[in-house]
Structure 1
Amino acid sequence: MSLDDFGAAALRRMDPETAHQLALAALKAGLGGRHDARDAVLATRVGPLSLPNPVGLAAGFDKNGEALHGLARGGFGFVECGSVTPRPQPGNPKPRLFRLSEDRAIINRMGFNNAGLEVFARNLARRPEGAVIGANLGANKDTDDKAADYVTGLLRLRGLADYFTVNVSSPNTPGLRNLQGRAALDDLLGRLAEARGPEPLFLKIAPDLTEAEIVMIVEACVAHRMDGLIVSNTTLDRPDSLRSAQAGESGGLSGAPLRDKALTTLGWAHGVSRGRLALIGVGGIASGADAYARIRAGASAVQLYSALIYEGPGLVMSIRRDLADRLKSDGFGSVQEAVGAR
């Protein structure tokens, strides 16, 4: 067990939110992370983005973009920070983060707790050179016109991030997922299209959508010249397989129980988009095999979060090595050659 992974094991014995804050503090202080050798087979593209490897950090870990220098040394091909809302907000009452250890899962009902756009923008302005950094945009809980909040975030952060993600799929902000309906989505995406700069723009969707809803969302994104979809956010479902005593907590479920559902949703999106949108696969990815399955199902890249809590930071390099071996073994010269090859 490496020193980093030993630290991760110690954090798992603490209250989940306290452990999260300590991990962030350690990264800000320069602990953990190291320079890593690159494998040419893993270099890839996601729409217009060039990545050194396809293994990214999902939004939610670094909500304020405060530990980007430490995260950039963690072996990720890209790091997504946020979600950020225009105004600071405390989020939902505690406790609001739960480990389902028996299920290798997490339930959270954080509620977009963050320090707001101005703090976020200052942190992004000091971002590490050479790292690919994305900004995940959210809406304040008490905003009536939530689409306006996304436009505000996009305008304030233009030029500070390499790409933007529009998060309309968190289950912990009342009314947010309603933005995935066609009329609301057309309004939101139309406003964003007018406000956007040159940076790629992705929409993050829920795994709890039907195939017909995925068809509608894909067509709306193509119509408004979005660059891609991130598939998917946490789920409100509670599979019968859950064993943890905390399985009944409200909030979004992530981790291993989400794997199959997120993979199915990704497959639908790939089948409908037919290459018109870049896809990033998220949800239950904990191994090179999981990452490879998403790529073969249509994802150009993947993102991790929950699995890192259980496996430690060494998981990133483990997935990268395994993924490179699988690509070479199957005769692929690059990640892009394997996208959608299932």
Structure 2
Amino acid sequence: GRSPGRALLRAATGRVEDPVRLLGLTFPNRVGLAAGMDKDARAVRAWGPLGLGHVELGTVTALPQPGNPRPRLVRLPRSRGVVNRMGFNNPGVHAVAGRLRRARREGSLAVPVGVSIGKSRATPVEEAVGDYLTSVTVLHGLADYLAVNVSSPNTPGLRGLQDAGPLAELLAAVVRRTRELAAGGPCPPVPVLVKLAPDLTDTALAEALEVALEAGVAGFVATNTTLSREGVHPAEQELADQPGGLSGAPLAPRAREVVARIREATELPLVGVGGVMGPEDARALRAAGADLVQLYTGLVYAGPALVAEAARAAAPPVA
């Protein structure tokens, strides 16, 4: 039968091998863990053995911060969704870098490890660039890629950094810093991805893509959680009507749409995330143009067996 223990064992021992080379890295398969689950890099050694092809840690900020007051997370079981307003709770980039450094020294990381970086709440928006650059510098040589998070709805002013002007300045500075840090060293600059919100208008998305490409980013992550409550079960409308970003099944159609629009604009590596609740959702994001797929809320509802199922579904069909 399908006992949870057996499902866990199957998931934990059977990594789907479907290697893909992207961003100068080899991913053992196309399914990774989205940012938000392992914010502190506490479980960084566990994700490879669970069958995942990569993990995105964080979001981390330059300063340690407790996040928003609790309760700050609510499940919408009928909608197969979650609303969260965590607010980048994390121990700060120095602590996360220390944990990553230890894991790297031990050689216990079996898969690529990206780190999502965001703005500290205490840092004024006009000083955001310096805040992000602190994280870039501290993580030098430790992250396989960086994801610049300008799209969480839970840090005041953060999403304004997706506007063309601020985004151009931020991404140019981040890319420049990665090049400075790599100069004269044995490794190329760490790839910089930018994670965009599902709630951008077509015009705003097109502008964000244009300035990101101009700044020299290596790829995109689409999408973050949504402020929309479309697709929420009628019985849960009232419960869902509270501050925070919605993830899970209701987000899936919009995530696919944004992935498809980004794919029309560029051939750069693209990570699709949002509403991967089952293997067919992973396949649909791949069909929309995603090279890699990430999940988080799907694990809450489907459990760890989803990892291998999604990785098989995301693999290219055998010709």
Normalising by structure 2, we get a TM-score of 0.89
Among candidates 63, 74, 85, match of residue 50 of structure 2:
74
Task: Please name the residue that 1:51 is paired with.
Answer: 27
- For the residues of structure 1 that align with 2:145 and 2:75, how far apart are their CA atoms? 30
One-letter code of the match for 1:150? Y
**Aligned residues between the structures:** 301
Task: Please name the residue that 1:123 is paired with.
Answer: 99
Query: 2:7·2:304 contact (CA, 8 Å) conserved in 1?
Result: no
- For the residues of structure 2 that align with 1:100 and 1:235, how far apart are their CA atoms? 14
Going from structure 1 to structure 2, the CA distance change for 1:6 and 1:247 (only over 3 Å counts) comes to: farther
Query: 1:33·1:71 contact (CA, 8 Å) conserved in 2?
Result: no
SS at match of 1:259: helix
Cα offset, 1:288, TM superposition: 2.0
Going from structure 1 to structure 2, the CA distance change for 1:125 and 1:102 (only over 3 Å counts) comes to: same
- For the residues of structure 2 that align with 1:32 and 1:110, how far apart are their CA atoms? 31
Task: Please name the residue that 2:258 is paired with.
Answer: 265
> Which residues in structure 2 correspond to 1:84-233 (within 5 Å)?
84-127=60-103, 128-144=108-124, 145-196=127-178, 197=182, 198-233=189-224
- For the residues of structure 2 that align with 1:318 and 1:32, how far apart are their CA atoms? 11
SS at match of 2:229: coil
Cα offset, 1:4, TM superposition: 4.5
Going from structure 1 to structure 2, the CA distance change for 1:34 and 1:94 (only over 3 Å counts) comes to: same
Going from structure 1 to structure 2, the CA distance change for 1:240 and 1:228 (only over 3 Å counts) comes to: closer
Task: Please name the residue that 2:40 is paired with.
Answer: 64
Going from structure 1 to structure 2, the CA distance change for 1:37 and 1:235 (only over 3 Å counts) comes to: closer
Query: 2:16·2:312 contact (CA, 8 Å) conserved in 1?
Result: no
Query: 2:15·2:49 contact (CA, 8 Å) conserved in 1?
Result: no
Query: 1:5·1:312 contact (CA, 8 Å) conserved in 2?
Result: no
Structure 2 residue 46 is matched with structure 1 residue 36: no
Structure 2 residue 279 is matched with structure 1 residue 288: yes
Query: 1:33·1:70 contact (CA, 8 Å) conserved in 2?
Result: no
Query: 1:279·1:301 contact (CA, 8 Å) conserved in 2?
Result: yes
- For the residues of structure 1 that align with 2:174 and 2:114, how far apart are their CA atoms? 16
Percent identity between matched residues is: 41
Which string of whole-angstrom CA distances, capped at 9 and with x for unpartnered residues, describes residues 269-308 of structure 1?
A: 11112x1x21100000122221121112111100000010
Cα offset, 1:62, TM superposition: 0.6
Among candidates 257, 270, 273, match of residue 279 of structure 1:
270
Query: 1:46·1:279 contact (CA, 8 Å) conserved in 2?
Result: no
Query: 2:79·2:250 contact (CA, 8 Å) conserved in 1?
Result: yes
- For the residues of structure 2 that align with 1:240 and 1:139, how far apart are their CA atoms? 30
Cα offset, 1:37, TM superposition: 4.8
SS at match of 1:140: coil
Query: 1:32·1:70 contact (CA, 8 Å) conserved in 2?
Result: no
Structure 2 residue 303 is matched with structure 1 residue 327: no
Runs (5+) with no aligned partner, structure 2: 183-188
- For the residues of structure 2 that align with 1:71 and 1:278, how far apart are their CA atoms? 22
